[in-house]
Amino acid sequence: MAEGLVIIPTYNEIENIEAIIRAVFDLPRAYDVLIVDDDSPDGTAQRVMELQEEYPGRLHLERRKGKTGLGTAYIHGFKWALEREYPYIFEMDADFSHRPTDLPRLHRACLDGADMSIGSRYKKGVNVVNWPLHRMLLSYGASFYVKLITGMRVHDPTAGFVCYNRKVLQALDLDQVRFVGYAFQIEMKYRAYKKGFRLQEVSIVFTDREKGQSKMSKTIVWEAVFGVLGMKMRSLFKKNGF
């Protein structure tokens, strides 16, 4: 029986996909892997299907038509995981910016009582490798902005390396999650925070991708900037009965 499911969304990750899958399966703890591929034209899904013969029953693939965003890929994966009763569900990037060897540490935090554990770049200073200064300032500034607006005491609210206890995802109305890009990660943490779940950060070292292209864009950044403010305003209106 797998101890959890690692969800990895992909779009054009042919250079990384085999290595990241093997790295997860080489861990001492038994995790299944779900690849949610958004119709990658580079053959990512085809390579996953080939690897499924090597990892029967442990490596899963969901293929979606078109590139519809990180958030919708994770929501698709969450629903898939809940239907199959996985006790713990993980988010992780395909490009090795999140080290697979840190998965058991996130898992341990949840086993020890956290409802949601977060692989944090900023819990102990700034633990980021190979990022240009402007991107580091953007990310760190976004984290400070989110803490200021939402009141969450999370040092890295935009982090995409996460372990959920299944009860968190069961409690959230996944169909009401609004954001699909950068702000998706913030919204999921904020919704869990507002529900009273325990969020715990686990310090990690984040290394920028060496292969493939970043999916970051100006649209994604602006969604985060204005989306967080709108999210907070909606929460206040709801609280006051508007």
Q: pLDDT tens digits for 104-161? A: 999 999 999 999 999 999 998 777 787 777 777 777 777 888 888 888 999 999 899 9
Domains defined for the chain, CATH in brackets: 4-239 (3.90.550.10)
pLDDT of residue 131: 72
Positive or negative: CA dihedral 27, 122, 202, 216 = negative
Question: Bigger pLDDT: 130 or 13?
Answer: 13
Split at pLDDT 50, 70, 90, the class of 213 is low
**pTM (2 d.p.):** 0.88
222 pLDDT higher than 50: yes
**What pLDDT sits at residue 119?**
97
Segment 48-105, tens digit of pLDDT: 999 999 999 999 999 999 888 899 999 999 999 999 999 999 999 999 999 999 999 9
C-alpha 67/C-alpha 52 separation (Å) is 23
